[in-house]
Amino acid sequence: DAGITQSPRHKVTETGTPVTLRCHQTENHRYMYWYRQDPGHGLRLIHYSYGVKDTDKGEVSDGYSVSRSKTEDFLLTLESATSSQTSVYFCAISEGYLAGGYTFGSGTRLTVV
């Protein structure tokens, strides 16, 4: 979507290696989120950020860490990738008010072999 980009779009990595996914926004939204999408589970929140250097865990945060050093960038790191982390990862942004929805990036397909 316009204003939010994810990189890379596809990645294959080996078990045990570190991986970092990047989300970049140009909308100056306060809130940024990382979700993973798996068949039968829909979207599950991994971590989110409510400002520069302000982050918190979602429902499936084990094995993941995040950082936000600038408003526009939100990084998701898999410290030591496992096969269970093979998934499609989506970044989303929001202004944070209740009636506002999220704007999603196009996703990163990560395969851990």
Partner 1 sequence: AQSVTQPDIHITVSEGASLELRCNYSYGATPYLFWYVQSPGQGLQLLLKYFSGDTLVQGIKGFEAEFKRSQSSFNLRKPSVHWSDAAEYFCAVGALGLTGGGNKLTFGTGTQLKVEL
Q: Are 59 and 38 contacting, i.e. CB atoms less than 8 angstroms apart?
A: no
> Residue count at the site for partner 1 (CB under 8 A)?
27
Distance between CA atoms of residues 80 and 82, nearest Å? 7
Beta bridge partners of 96: none
Looking at 11-19, 20-28, 62-70, 91-99, which segment touches partner 1 (CB under 8 A)? Answer: 91-99
Q: How far apart are CA 39 and CA 10, in angstroms?
A: 18
Q: Are 93 and 27 in contact (CB under 8 A)?
A: yes
* Residue pointed to by tokens 């996914």: 21
Q: Using CB under 8 A as the criterion, what x/- string covers residues 42-81 for binding partner 1? A: xx-x--x-xx--x-x-------------------------
Q: Are 50 and 58 in contact (CB under 8 A)?
A: no
What minimum distance in Å lies between the beta carbon of 44 and partner 1?
Answer: 8
Binding mask 2-31 for partner 1 (x = CB under 8 A): ----------------------------xx
- Pair 45, 105: CB distance under 8 Å: no
Question: Is residue 101 near partner 1 by the rule CB under 8 A?
Answer: yes
Which of 67/103 has CB closer to partner 1? Answer: 103
List residues near partner 1 by CB under 8 A: 1, 30-31, 40-43, 45, 48, 50-51, 54, 56, 90, 94, 96-107
